[in-house]
Amino acid sequence: AKALGRARYHVFDPIMYQEAIQLLEIENDLRRAVARQEFIVYYQPIVSLLTGKIAGFEALVRWQHPIRGLILPAEFIPVAEETGLITSINTWVLQSACQQLRLWQHHPAIPDSLTISVNLSARLFSQPNLMAQIDEILYETQVNPENLELEITETVIMENSHAVKTILQQLKERRIKLVMDDFGTGYSSLSYLHSFPLNALKIDKSFVKRMQENQEDMGLVPAMINIADSMGMRAIAEGVETTEQLAQLRSLNCEFAQGFLFSKPIEQQSVLNLLTTAPQW
Ligand code: C2E
Ligand code: CA
Ligand code: CA
Ligand code: CA
């Protein structure tokens, strides 16, 4: 509906008009995709730098488009956010990831401690029944909530703090872990962050990238790891692509790392193979 409004407003600008039409097409396409469940969850390993082994996986959604093939989130999440379709997509991802976690938890070759991290859109927090939905998924799948991590962004915390605090508190009571995603890219103050029950800070890949480019001072990553430490949270570095970055993060006592160096996101069927063949990093 927003896309249509924009089209009407800029009706004399042919480029804006084209863009709006395209947005509308994606929106319609996305509606159909939600109805037909054209999504698939990929999994990317998160490595413990203490043990050098895979500690868990982050669930990352992809759209299996009947004509265009696999579409990455950057192309449809923004439209999904704008149209509100993200709530059904995201709930589906949470449900699939929990079903998968349940299967993995029963597999003899998979450690009981394996975690699954699921991204939660800020839009989910304005749904009054979010907690009921999460409880239903926990009940249906019978996963151990301690193995479930939910990744939220600073936007979630900045918006509507009382309602959000209540939900985060309830998640904590269920022993679900909470991760601040893309740490360092938002605008929340540290004292504000500190007042939320977070278990980990995920250092955004842009900072990890700059660490590599700027060998001398390593940029902001050491400070971010210290912040996590001093707030009693774990640090997870994302976007780790080189062995140099890995060595630097290890020397800084960063606890977890994720990135193409270890593996790109993979399909569920490849997870077992990766777990049994992955080197000790
Ligand atoms: P994110 O949560 O920050 O996820 C990390 C993104 O970085 C993923 O992109 C991942 O494939 C990519 N990545 C991993 N390792 C590396 C690396 O070494 N180098 C580089 N350059 N990139 C790396 P992806 O899968 O395309 O997802 C993009 C974003 O879409 C995610 O960013 C997240 O914000 C959103 N997203 C994905 N799945 C979901 C979902 O189920 N729900 C919601 N609400 N958002 C999702
Ligand atoms: Ca994430
Ligand atoms: Ca990120
Ligand atoms: Ca993100």
pLDDT tens-digit series, residues 51-91 = 999 999 999 999 999 999 999 999 999 999 999 999 999 99
Ligand 1 atom closest to residue 151's alpha carbon, by position in its atom list: 2
DSSP assignment letter at 37: T
**CB of 152 closer than 6 A to ligand 1?**
no
Q: How far apart are CA 263 and CA 144, in angstroms?
A: 26
Which of 91, 180, 238, 263 gets mutated to test ligand 1 (max ligand atoms within 8 A of its CB)? 238
182 CA distance to ligand 4 middle (Å): 5
60 CA distance to ligand 1 middle (Å): 6
> Is 149:179 a contact under the CB 8 Å cutoff?
yes
pLDDT for the residue 168: 96
Considering the chain, what percentage of its residues have pLDDT values greater than 70?
Answer: 94
Please report which confidence band the pLDDT of residue 233 belongs to, taking 50, 70 and 90 as the band edges.
very high
pLDDT for residue 8 is more than 60: no
Ligand 1 atom closest to residue 124's alpha carbon, by position in its atom list: 44
The complex's ipTM works out to 0.97
**Helix, strand, or coil here: 159?**
coil
Which are the contacts of 147, defined by CB distance < 8 A and separation ≥ 6? Answer: 56, 101, 105, 112, 113, 114, 115, 116
pLDDT for the residue 193: 86
pLDDT for the residue 13: 76
Encoded tokens for 216: 């001398």
**CB of 44 closer than 6 A to ligand 1?**
yes
Span 122-131, pLDDT tens digits: 999 999 999 9
164-177: average pLDDT: 96
Among candidates 118, 134, 116, 127, which has minimal Cα distance to 56? 116
Ligand 1 atom closest to residue 94's alpha carbon, by position in its atom list: 41
Q: How far apart are CA 43 and CA 60, in angstroms?
A: 6
Which of 43, 60, 180 gets mutated to test ligand 1 (max ligand atoms within 8 A of its CB)? 60
58 CA distance to ligand 1 middle (Å): 9
pLDDT for residue 10 is more than 80: no
**CB of 259 closer than 6 A to ligand 1?**
yes
Collect contacts of 258-264 with beta carbons under 8 A, ≥24 apart: 258/44, 258/45, 258/46, 258/47, 258/58, 259/205, 259/208, 262/45, 262/47, 262/54, 263/44, 263/45, 264/44
